[in-house]
Amino acid sequence: RKEVEQDPGPFNVPEGATVAFNCTYSNSASQSFFWYRQDCRKEPKLLMSVYSSGNEDGRFTAQLNRASQYISLLIRDSKLSDSATYLCVVNMYSGTYKYIFGTGTRLKVLA
């Protein structure tokens, strides 16, 4: 089983739609969680950290469920500029920290 799993997509949604991505992780020693955004042929950039209480940044909401070992990202009122690949990242501590990247979920927002 992969340490971090994401649905690769693509998710094709119309502008204005709400879309949600899930990411599951296998190791309960996971300490911190992030969503990164990666545009085509560009570097990953931090979108938001994910906190136990959940957090929101404008149209983006991230949730963490430690009991079920998954994190989610909700995007409301999708824009064309949201089209990208969204990477789930889990930082795990097992003697040393280990940053594990999911393979990403591709989102295409259609006009």
Partner 1 sequence: NAGVTQTPKFRILKIGQSMTLQCTQDMNHNYMYWYRQDPGMGLKLIYYSVGAGITDKGEVPNGYNVSRSTTEDFPLRLELAAPSQTSVYFCASSYSMADTQYFGPGTRLTVL
Vertex 42, ends 87 and 21: CA angle to 5°?
A: 20
Residue with tokens 């879309």: 19
Peptide bond preceding 10 in cis form (omega within 30 of 0): yes
Least gap, CB of 111 to partner 1 (angstroms): 27
For the segment 8-67, give every residue that binds partner 1 (CB under 8 A).
8, 31-32, 34, 41-46, 49
Please say whether the beta carbons of 29 and 94 come within 8 A.
yes
**How many residues bind to partner 1 according to rule CB under 8 A?**
24
Identity of residue 49: S
Which of 4, 71, 84, 109 touches partner 1 by CB under 8 A?
Answer: 4
Residues contributing to the site for partner 1 (CB under 8 A) = 4, 8, 31-32, 34, 41-46, 49, 87, 91, 93, 96-104
